[in-house]
Chain A
Amino acid sequence: MCVMVCRPSVPVHTTTDRSVATLFAYVTRRVLISVPLLVIAMYLVHVGVSATVDPRSDFYLCLPRCQEGFDSITETYALDTNIFLRPFTYFADLFSGDGLGFSSSVGEPVGEVMRTRGWNTAMVAIPAFLLGAVLSLLLSVYSARRQYSVGDYFFTGLSFIGFAMPSFVLALIIQVIFGVKLEEWFGIKPFNTGRKTGENFWELLRDITLPAVSLAILGIAADSRFGRSSMLETLNQDYIRTARAKGLTERTVVWKHALRNGLIPLVTLWALGFSALLSGSVVTESIFSWPGIGQTFLRALGDSDLDLLMAIVMFTGVLTVIFNLIADVLYGVLDPRIRLG
């Protein structure tokens, strides 16, 4: 409440207002550009998938006895029309209120499949991302501050191993060691090799740990390398030297002044990485029997489930656009010199 002196309540355009307006315009422009890009991507994916998978493949060997089913699928997916025109049937159904369609491979409406499987993926992706982000950040700072130390070489070596190792090999190694051998060696079995019921917290923790760690390691290997380079470059900048000359503690120099700039390349990697994690990991989810988007994608591909494939592609595309946008916005937050124009 205003007691003493009140300013007249007239609108004042501040710098913050202008920044918000610029940001809004920027985001709007990016979204508007993304929509046609997504549509074109979906059109190409539909044509590509239609050209390589035939939802009737199981029916050829039982014709003419199963002609009825064959014809039904032909009609459902408009397979008797030109392959370049088929996506328009899909889009027409999508916007006519029929929604995303029905998943023949899962036996549920596609919207429901995306909701449940998306949540399952998020249950692993979020801890994997957080674990990966925190550890890659710590490793980046450690390696940059102690360049060419034994620890730096050790973590660099580990990163290269993690970077070079195919994800399915890493996932299987983790599964065998922590899911199978731990019990054999030490008589304890803290983790499950795959998703079980997992409805109480501890069971869920046992289910989630191995896939989340597998995904996190893959992220850490790449991110810590980029983070290290970026931090090294930042720590050698003049303003850091000035900060040290002013007598600031090393902790303040690193964590307050250097980290903010050093984070910029990591933000891009984290944004794209998190978007990829939320889109599901085909390999990791398959190995750990995790019923997420990645495993569902594989199943949809195997069963020529066009509606589900399209929904997943659309979901992945939308996530990529959103997280790219978030990364761009975060650049501006981390470095005021970057302007969204």
Chain B
Amino acid sequence: MNTTRRSHKLLAMTAASALVFAACGSDDDAADTVSTEPTEDSVAEEPAEEPAEEPAEEPAEEPAEEPAEGEGGGTLIWAHEQEPGDLHLDDPENNLSITSWIRSAMIEGLFGISGSTEYYPELLADDGELTTNDDGSVTGTFTMRDGLLWSDGDDLTAEDVVWTYNTIMAADGETEDGDPNYIYLLGDRTGLDTITDISADGNTISITWSAFFAGYKGVLNEVYPMHQFNADPAVAAAELNDGLRGWTTPDGSTIASSGPMIFDSWDKGVQMNLVRNDAYSGSNSPDAKNDGVAFVDGVQINFVTDTDAQINALQAGEAQIVMTQPQLSFEDLASSDDFTVASSAGPVFEHWGLNLNNVHLAKPAVREGLAFAMDKTEVMAGLYTPLFGDSLPADGLGNTMWLSNQSTYENHAGDAGYGAGDIASAQAALEGAGYALNGDGIYEHPEDGALTLRVGTTGGNRLREIQQELIQAQMSDAGIDIVIDNVEGGAYFSEVPFSADAIACATSGGAEGNCDIWDITQFAWVGGPWPGGQIASYRAGGPNNPYGFANDAFEAKADECDATVDDVERAACYNEIDRYVTTLELDAENGLFMLPLTQKPSFYGYTSDLSQAGVAPDAQGSGPLTNVADFQFAD
């Protein structure tokens, strides 16, 4: 009996000792992870690939600009819910934001995108020059920054740019349709496929397009290291398809970086580690506070799928940054002194798209009624302003081409009086179209019945649902009955507004397909420094235009905008065509088929462990690591 009790005691003491031992160990480790030697796990135990450490000690050539010394050290830990399948961003199956955010810290291109969603020269010294040739083609001449280096110490030159282009465009024969059968995986070669000539001369690149391409700054937004791959573009294209997935070269080493971080290791499902690139030439971004190498030693991205768990990790000191969605999870923590929310107006904007083939929405006055009745200020004040302050405009968004934080932005919807909760104007518009209030307080048309409209989106996004409920109440005040008709799961778009029947209706002007599948759809578009890409959605007959909008003048003007070489004139031109989309000014019959609501905020929260954090958390294709060089731990 006594022996048994003693063994129980021994067992209990062993278990307690184990816990105490683990606890003591944890203190050290936690401290390491936060600020001093956090790369122990990722670097010391699994040493970075050789090139990672070399450049700092033996730069291949003397850079023209001396890279600044990193100060502070420590590993920045970012807890994030999404993990990429692999790092081949151009594979259409893997086109995830998180992939681009991670790559933004490792690889740079000719132009970058700033926090105000505008291009800035990244690997280039300046914006370059465009010349229109006699045959209508346009030649751009661009100069690379001096002293650029890959992280393994090799020079980053104009030759890398030309090789990258040739690799992306390498083809092995033709498809059945007679198009080139490209080897490198890329879903969209717009702007690349009209390049007729590209060459390097020293530090200068010359690119000729058969005709002016307004989105030219967006092409070659990532340049790969030629010296690590086959010189033959066709071979290199296949090598890149393989290598980019795990960020390795054909010989198994790590792909060299041109950005502030180098890929180090990836424990799938758990974490990814990046280490500082000591050969980095510094950021050219207008947002950057640090123009040298990163302050932190590295970045550890922990994949934490649950948003509450992310916040717990932050509070437990196991992470310094979270960028959790939905923002509702953030709100309690934001009031804490130990936590800061960095926010900016992101490139994604919410809107209501209207079905012009709906019997009610076909009437311009009904669309105006909706636009007048909507009170975006209330939405902003209720859902965004408390957490994000003035980073988003208080009166919402009024343009579908330009975003509120871009210098070219004009508030067309606001100027037309829309989005301000003007009930009287909404009711006047409806009554002018023959509607009268029925006994239920809903407007009714003598032939088309009660003004009841369905609004739909992908269900499960609570923030969006609250937004819908707010607007539903606003519409109800104006006598418009809105029924929320969301679809759970990812099938909403493919089964509702973009279903074959809905598109057939839109492209045939209501003659074919089924026009009754949807009335109003709410979803998000991604804006950017060049809005030309989304104009395709408004062109008649397109598979991406479910609204049924068709206007020859709009399309002619859109072509003109895309062909305008001067930046200022082109911006004004896009503003003009937006007035077809968001007002009735230029097309009194079919205009006003989009009601832009708000830009979604881009934000992340960080702990007081950091004394300085990068801004511009979510410029298109960038994310929290865009200005990773700026992050610095408090002493």
Does B493 lie within 8 Å of A65, measured CB to CB? Answer: no
Instruction: Please measure, in the bound complex, the distance between the C-alpha atom of A197 and the C-alpha atom of B33, giving whole angstroms.
Output: 11
CB-contact partner of B85 in A57, A59, A66, A104, under 8 A: A104
Does B306 lie within 8 Å of A289, measured CB to CB? Answer: yes
Kindly provide the distance from the CB of A255 to the nearest chain B CB, expressed in whole angstroms.
13
Instruction: Please measure, in the bound complex, the distance between the C-alpha atom of A206 and the C-alpha atom of B24, giving whole angstroms.
Output: 11
Does A64 lie within 8 Å of B543, measured CB to CB? Answer: yes
For A120, the chain B residues whose CB sits under 8 A away are 269
Kindly provide the distance from the CB of B115 to the nearest chain A CB, expressed in whole angstroms.
24
Does A66 lie within 8 Å of B188, measured CB to CB? Answer: yes
Does A193 lie within 8 Å of B490, measured CB to CB? Answer: no
What number of A residues sit within 8 Å (CB to CB) of B?
61
* B2 contacts A by Cβ under 8 Å: no
Once A and B bind, how many residue pairs between them come within 8 Å at the CB atom?
A: 168
For A288, the chain B residues whose CB sits under 8 A away are 309
* A194 contacts B by Cβ under 8 Å: yes
Kindly provide the distance from the CB of A218 to the nearest chain B CB, expressed in whole angstroms.
17
* B30 contacts A by Cβ under 8 Å: yes
Kindly provide the distance from the CB of B201 to the nearest chain A CB, expressed in whole angstroms.
32
Kindly provide the distance from the CB of A301 to the nearest chain B CB, expressed in whole angstroms.
9
* A146 contacts B by Cβ under 8 Å: no
Does B542 lie within 8 Å of A197, measured CB to CB? Answer: no
* B50 contacts A by Cβ under 8 Å: no
Does A73 lie within 8 Å of B270, measured CB to CB? Answer: no
Instruction: Please measure, in the bound complex, the distance between the C-alpha atom of A118 and the C-alpha atom of B25, giving whole angstroms.
Output: 28
Does B309 lie within 8 Å of A287, measured CB to CB? Answer: yes
* A179 contacts B by Cβ under 8 Å: yes
* A250 contacts B by Cβ under 8 Å: no
B residues 272-331 with Cβ under 8 Å of A?
Answer: 302-306, 308-309, 312-313, 315-318
Nearest-CB residue, chain A, relative to B93? A104
Instruction: Please measure, in the bound complex, the distance between the C-alpha atom of A61 and the C-alpha atom of B303, giving whole angstroms.
Output: 27
Instruction: Please measure, in the bound complex, the distance between the C-alpha atom of A52 and the C-alpha atom of B188, giving whole angstroms.
Output: 28
Does B312 lie within 8 Å of A175, measured CB to CB? Answer: yes
CB-contact partner of B305 in A108, A172, A295, under 8 A: A295
Known: A188-B27, A189-B26. A64 touches B544 (CB 8 A): yes
For A105, the chain B residues whose CB sits under 8 A away are 85
Does B542 lie within 8 Å of A56, measured CB to CB? Answer: no
Does B306 lie within 8 Å of A287, measured CB to CB? Answer: yes
Nearest-CB residue, chain A, relative to B26? A189
Instruction: Please measure, in the bound complex, the distance between the C-alpha atom of A174 and the C-alpha atom of B187, giving whole angstroms.
Output: 45
Kindly provide the distance from the CB of B167 to the nearest chain A CB, expressed in whole angstroms.
17
Binds A, one of B14-22, B145-153, B158-166: B14-22
Does A289 lie within 8 Å of B302, measured CB to CB? Answer: yes
Instruction: Please measure, in the bound complex, the distance between the C-alpha atom of A197 and the C-alpha atom of B46, giving whole angstroms.
Output: 11
Task: Return the CB mask of A49-82 against B: 1 if under 8 Å, else 0.
Answer: 0001110111111111110111011000000000
Does B316 lie within 8 Å of A193, measured CB to CB? Answer: yes
Does A189 lie within 8 Å of B27, measured CB to CB? Answer: yes
* B491 contacts A by Cβ under 8 Å: yes
For A203, the chain B residues whose CB sits under 8 A away are 25, 29
Does B187 lie within 8 Å of A68, measured CB to CB? Answer: yes
Instruction: Please measure, in the bound complex, the distance between the C-alpha atom of A263 and the C-alpha atom of B257, giving whole angstroms.
Output: 61
Known: A65-B533, A286-B305, A304-B490. A103 touches B312 (CB 8 A): no
Does B41 lie within 8 Å of A197, measured CB to CB? Answer: yes
* B221 contacts A by Cβ under 8 Å: no
For A104, the chain B residues whose CB sits under 8 A away are 85, 93-94
Does B270 lie within 8 Å of A197, measured CB to CB? Answer: yes
Instruction: Please measure, in the bound complex, the distance between the C-alpha atom of A76 and the C-alpha atom of B230, giving whole angstroms.
Output: 30
* A162 contacts B by Cβ under 8 Å: no
Known: A57-B493, A66-B188, A103-B85. A287 touches B308 (CB 8 A): yes
CB-contact partner of A289 in B29, B304, B543, under 8 A: B304
* A98 contacts B by Cβ under 8 Å: no
* A160 contacts B by Cβ under 8 Å: no
Does A107 lie within 8 Å of B318, measured CB to CB? Answer: no
* B245 contacts A by Cβ under 8 Å: yes
Does B318 lie within 8 Å of A194, measured CB to CB? Answer: yes
Does A291 lie within 8 Å of B269, measured CB to CB? Answer: yes
CB-contact partner of B489 in A53, A179, A196, under 8 A: A53
Kindly provide the distance from the CB of B566 to the nearest chain A CB, expressed in whole angstroms.
26
* A117 contacts B by Cβ under 8 Å: yes
Nearest-CB residue, chain B, relative to A303? B85
* B557 contacts A by Cβ under 8 Å: no
Nearest-CB residue, chain B, relative to A292? B269
Does B41 lie within 8 Å of A65, measured CB to CB? Answer: no
* A190 contacts B by Cβ under 8 Å: yes
Kindly provide the distance from the CB of A282 to the nearest chain B CB, expressed in whole angstroms.
10
Instruction: Please measure, in the bound complex, the distance between the C-alpha atom of A106 and the C-alpha atom of B84, giving whole angstroms.
Output: 7
Does B491 lie within 8 Å of A52, measured CB to CB? Answer: yes
For A289, the chain B residues whose CB sits under 8 A away are 270, 302-306, 309, 313
* A165 contacts B by Cβ under 8 Å: no
Most chain A Cβ neighbours within 10 Å, of B22, B91, B302:
B22
Known: A54-B490, A203-B29. A180 touches B316 (CB 8 A): yes
CB-contact partner of B190 in A65, A175, A295, under 8 A: A65
Kindly provide the distance from the CB of B268 to the nearest chain A CB, expressed in whole angstroms.
7
For B19, the chain A residues whose CB sits under 8 A away are 190
Does B92 lie within 8 Å of A68, measured CB to CB? Answer: yes
* B536 contacts A by Cβ under 8 Å: yes
For A69, the chain B residues whose CB sits under 8 A away are 91-93, 187
Nearest-CB residue, chain B, relative to A53? B490
* B494 contacts A by Cβ under 8 Å: yes
* A33 contacts B by Cβ under 8 Å: no
Does B93 lie within 8 Å of A73, measured CB to CB? Answer: yes
Instruction: Please measure, in the bound complex, the distance between the C-alpha atom of A227 and the C-alpha atom of B506, giving whole angstroms.
Output: 64
For B95, the chain A residues whose CB sits under 8 A away are 58, 66
Instruction: Please measure, in the bound complex, the distance between the C-alpha atom of A62 and the C-alpha atom of B186, giving whole angstroms.
Output: 13
* B271 contacts A by Cβ under 8 Å: yes
Does B270 lie within 8 Å of A64, measured CB to CB? Answer: no
Nearest-CB residue, chain B, relative to A296? B269
Instruction: Please measure, in the bound complex, the distance between the C-alpha atom of A58 and the C-alpha atom of B493, giving whole angstroms.
Output: 9
CB-contact partner of A65 in B20, B84, B187, B306, under 8 A: B187
Instruction: Please measure, in the bound complex, the distance between the C-alpha atom of A304 and the C-alpha atom of B493, giving whole angstroms.
Output: 15
B residues 468-501 with Cβ under 8 Å of A?
Answer: 489-491, 493-494, 498
Does B489 lie within 8 Å of A190, measured CB to CB? Answer: no
* B231 contacts A by Cβ under 8 Å: no
Does A188 lie within 8 Å of B313, measured CB to CB? Answer: no
For A106, the chain B residues whose CB sits under 8 A away are 85, 268-269
Most chain A Cβ neighbours within 10 Å, of B30, B84, B312:
B312
Does A205 lie within 8 Å of B544, measured CB to CB? Answer: no
Does A197 lie within 8 Å of B308, measured CB to CB? Answer: no
* A17 contacts B by Cβ under 8 Å: no
Nearest-CB residue, chain A, relative to B245? A107
Instruction: Please measure, in the bound complex, the distance between the C-alpha atom of A103 and the C-alpha atom of B83, giving whole angstroms.
Output: 13
For B318, the chain A residues whose CB sits under 8 A away are 192-194, 196
Kindly provide the distance from the CB of B77 to the nearest chain A CB, expressed in whole angstroms.
10
* A176 contacts B by Cβ under 8 Å: yes
Known: A175-B312, A188-B26, A199-B45. A60 touches B268 (CB 8 A): no
Instruction: Please measure, in the bound complex, the distance between the C-alpha atom of A145 and the C-alpha atom of B533, giving whole angstroms.
Output: 75
Does B85 lie within 8 Å of A107, measured CB to CB? Answer: yes
Nearest-CB residue, chain A, relative to B303? A289
Instruction: Please measure, in the bound complex, the distance between the C-alpha atom of A54 and the C-alpha atom of B309, giving whole angstroms.
Output: 29
Q: Which residues of B contact A (CB under 8 A)?
A: 18-27, 29-30, 41-42, 45, 83-86, 91-95, 187-188, 190, 245, 267-271, 302-306, 308-309, 312-313, 315-318, 489-491, 493-494, 498, 523, 525, 533, 536, 542-544
Sample of 20 further A-B pairs with CB below 8 A, known A103-B85, A172-B312, A287-B306 = A53-B490, A64-B536, A65-B533, A66-B92, A68-B92, A69-B92, A73-B92, A107-B245, A172-B308, A172-B309, A175-B309, A176-B312, A179-B316, A190-B19, A194-B318, A195-B270, A196-B41, A196-B318, A206-B22, A291-B303
Instruction: Pick the 5 closest A-B CB pairs, nearest first.
Output: A69-B92, A291-B269, A107-B85, A107-B86, A66-B187
6 contacts between A and B (CB under 8 A): A59-B92, A62-B187, A107-B86, A192-B26, A287-B309, A291-B303
Q: Which residues of A contact B (CB under 8 A)?
A: 52-54, 56-66, 68-70, 72-73, 103-108, 116-117, 120, 172, 175-176, 179-180, 183, 188-197, 199, 202-203, 205-206, 286-289, 291, 295-296, 298-299, 302-304
